A and B are shown apart, each in its own frame.
Chain A
Amino acid sequence: QVQLQESGPGLLKPSETLSLTCTVSGGSISGYYWSWIRQPAGKGLYWIGRIYTSGSTNYNPSLKSRVTMSVDTSKHQFSLDLRSVTAADTAVYYCARAREDQSRAFDIWGQGTMVTVSS
């Protein structure tokens, strides 16, 4: 069964760049959309953006100026860079896979990684 695992630093200072990687195991990375989603403590889910295995991306316009996503199919990984972080970027960050069908529902999720931005 496909599993996702996020990795990256848990603590950042304001103005630094958040870099997270999601490793895909137990299945193919090719042919799917892969998303990053975050959730501040006690709040709802927020979609950051997605990348297809071709490298095509869609970002949330509210974060677009600070976000870059990339994929390395040889390593079965995709990544998120979020620049110039502030305390407002403190959240649990999830990576997720979208179903292949038209629903594009998020059927596989990583366990999530807590990221704290604090001076």
Chain B
Amino acid sequence: DIQMTQSPSSLSASVGDRVTITCRASQSISTYLNWYQQKPGKAPKLLIYGASSLQSGVPSRFSGSGSGTDFTLTINSLQPEDFATYSCQQSYSTPRTFGQGTKLEIK
């Protein structure tokens, strides 16, 4: 199985900040990397697919980059509704695997 490791596990930031979350794969996955946002009691929501493509309806302050084993999710100008848990997921091979999640909290 491909292991996905996110850092940090938690992060405190303020409204208006720019934050970056990192995801590392245990082997190369090309650009088969997706990012999700999850709020308490809700299903995950797809933000970024194919490492850098913005899902329809997702604000442009979200962006993704990377290829191979190292990937980043960047959120520019944090909004109050962005405080949530973010998870990466590889779709290079089965079984599909997710990172452990990064909880973004308000400072």
Chain A positions near chain B (C-beta within 8 angstroms): 35, 44-47, 49-50, 58-62, 94, 98-99, 101-107, 109-112
Decide: A44 and B43 in contact? CB cutoff 8 A: no
A-chain residues with CB within 8 Å of residue B98 when the two chains form the complex: 44-47
Contact A107 B91 (CB under 8 A): no
Which residues of chain B from 81 to 107 have any CB-CB distance to chain A below 8 Å in the complex? 87, 89, 91, 94-101
Residues of A close to B91: CB separation below 8 A = 98, 103-105
A107 touches B95 (CB 8 A): no
Are B55 and A111 in touch, CB under 8 angstroms?
no
Sampled A-B contacts (15; CB under 8 Å)? A45-B36, A45-B87, A45-B101, A47-B95, A58-B95, A99-B49, A102-B50, A103-B32, A103-B34, A103-B53, A104-B91, A105-B91, A106-B36, A106-B46, A110-B43
B55 CB contact (under 8 Å) in A45, A50, A58, A107? A107
A59 — which chain B residues lie within 8 A by C-beta? 95
Chain B residues whose CB sits within 8 angstroms of the CB of A109 once the complex forms: 43-45
- When C-beta atoms are compared, the residue in chain B nearest to A46 turns out to be B98
Interface residue total, chain B, C-beta cutoff 8 A:
24
Check B32–A106 contact: CB distance below 8 A: no
Complex contact B95–A105 (CB within 8 A): no
Contacts of B94 in A (CB 8 A): 50, 58, 60
- Chain A residues with Cβ below 8 Å from B99 are 44
**Measured between alpha carbons, how far is A111 from B101 in the docked complex, in Å?**
19
Say how far A116's CB is from chain B's closest CB, in angstroms: 16
Query: What is the minimal beta-carbon distance from B6 to any residue of chain A, in angstroms?
Result: 9
Inter-chain contact A60/B50, CB cutoff 8 Å? no
CB-CB < 8 A to B50: which residues of A?
A: 101-103, 105
Other 15 A-B pairs with CB < 8 A, given A61-B1, A105-B55, A109-B43: A44-B100, A45-B44, A45-B87, A45-B101, A49-B95, A50-B96, A98-B91, A102-B32, A103-B53, A105-B34, A105-B89, A106-B34, A106-B89, A109-B44, A111-B43
